Every structure is written in structure tokens, then in C-alpha cells.
């Protein structure tokens, strides 16, 4: 092996090493929501009674991973490979209601789908409303 090849191999190996090292600290792959959902109107936007029902749905289905206050520190979070989002942060809160609805209902990988578990459309929007109240 000449020096040039050795240098190239070394660069390759260290790049792989760095990628493996950086991965746990990086953000998740971006999650594109189809335009149809992104623009979807929340029929219960501004509903003042959303809190209680939304919260009980959250406690029942979501708290184990996302944590009591949405920080992403639920009891199950440690056993997951995917970094959990922080619902109190601006990046999350800046999404449209439709985007949050889509991600909640369809899920991906370690985020389960709730298409079958939460069938009532009104319940789904109440949950979206509740997630929006977790804002700091
Ligand atoms: C088994 C653990 C688990 C449970 C239970 C769970 N989630 Fe998630 N959730 C995740 C993970 C992991 C991600 C990150 C997914 C990704 O980015 O690939 C996520 C991501 C999300 C996102 C997208 C966040 C963002 O930054 O855009 C929303 C919204 C969400 N979850 C809502 C919910 C709701 C609402 C419930 C309950 C109905 C719930 N999740 C239950 C694990 C879970």
C-alpha cells in the first residue's frame, strides 16, 4: 500500500468513526409532511375545553415516551434509538396543526401510528391542541 492509498483509507475510516460519534447528538432526519396535511384546518382550533380530554389521551398514549411535560424524557425514552423531540421548543411549536396531526396519526419508525388506536377525529385534534399547550 503506498502512502497516498493509506491516507485515503485513513480519511475514510476516520470519517466513518466521526459519523458514528456525531449521530447521537444530531437531530433526526427531517420529516416531510404532505402538503395536503400541512395545510389541513384544525376544526377545533382555539377550543377552550380541549385541555382535559387532550391531556388524558396524552397520559394514556404518549407520556411513556414523550414524558409528562413533553420534554421527551418518558420512562420508555431511554430504550429508544431515536432522539425524542421536545414539545416545549419553538421548532416543534412552529409547525402547523396539520403537521402535528399527521405525525401523531401516521408515525414513523419508533414513533407508533395511532391510526387505529385513536379513531375519533375530534380526539385527534384535541390531542394536537394539548401538544400546543406544552409550549414554554
Ligand atoms: C414508543 C414511544 C412513543 C410513543 C408511545 C409516542 N411517541 Fe411520538 N415520537 C416518538 C419518537 C421516537 C419520535 C421521533 C420520531 C422521528 O423523528 O423519527 C416521535 C415523534 C413525535 C412527533 C413529531 C415531533 C416533531 O418534532 O415533529 C409527534 C407530533 C409525536 N411524536 C406525537 C405523539 C403523540 C401525540 C403520542 C401519543 C398519542 C406519541 N407521540 C406517542 C416516540 C413515541
- Mean pLDDT confidence for 56-82: 97
Question: How far does residue 104's CA lie from ligand 1's centre (Å)?
Answer: 6
107-119, pLDDT tens digit by residue?
A: 999 999 999 999 9
Q: What percent of the chain has pLDDT over 70?
A: 95
80-94 pLDDT, tens digit each = 999 999 999 999 999
Does 17 map to a domain? no
Cβ-contact 128, 104 below 8 angstroms: yes
Domain extent, residue 45, equals: 30-133
For the domain that residue 89 is a member of, what is the CATH number? 1.10.760.10
Closest residue to atom 13 of ligand 1, CA basis: 111
pLDDT tens digits along 16-25? 877 776 655 5
Report if residue 7 sits inside a domain.
Answer: no
Domain count, the chain: 1
Burial code (b: 16+ CB inside 10 Å, e: under 16) for 81-98 equals: eeebbbbbeeebeebbbb
Q: Which of 50, 81, 85 to mutate to test the pocket of ligand 1 (most atoms within 8 A of CB)?
A: 85
* 39 assigned to some structural domain: yes
Is 18 part of a structural domain of the chain?
A: no
Residue 104 lies in a domain: yes
Residue 80 CA: which ligand 1 atom is closest? 12
Question: Of the residues 31, 53, 65, which should be mutated to test ligand 1's pocket, given the most ligand atoms within 8 Å of the CB?
Answer: 65
Residue 3 covered by a domain? no
Amino acid at each position: 500500500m503506498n502512502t497516498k492509498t493509506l491516507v485515503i483509507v485513513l480519511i475514510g475510516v476516520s470519517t466513518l468513526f466521526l459519523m458514528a460519534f456525531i449521530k447521537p447528538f444530531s437531530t433526526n432526519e427531517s420529516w416531510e409532511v404532505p402538503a395536503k396535511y400541512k395545510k389541513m384546518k384544525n376544526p377545533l382550533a382555539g377550543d377552550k375545553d380541549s385541555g382535559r380530554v387532550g391531556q388524558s389521551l396524552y397520559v394514556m398514549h404518549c407520556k411513556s415516551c414523550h414524558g409528562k411535560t413533553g420534554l421527551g424524557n418518558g420512562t420508555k425514552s431511554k430504550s429508544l434509538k431515536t432522539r425524542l423531540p421536545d414539545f416545549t421548543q419553538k421548532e416543534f411549536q412552529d409547525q402547523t396543526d396539520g403537521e402535528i396531526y399527521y405525525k401523531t396519526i401516521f408515525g414513523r419508525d419508533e414513533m407508533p401510528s395511532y391510526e387505529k388506536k385513536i379513531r375519533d377525529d375530534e380526539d385527534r385534534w384535541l390531542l394536537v391542541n394539548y401538544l400546543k399547550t406544552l409550549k414554554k
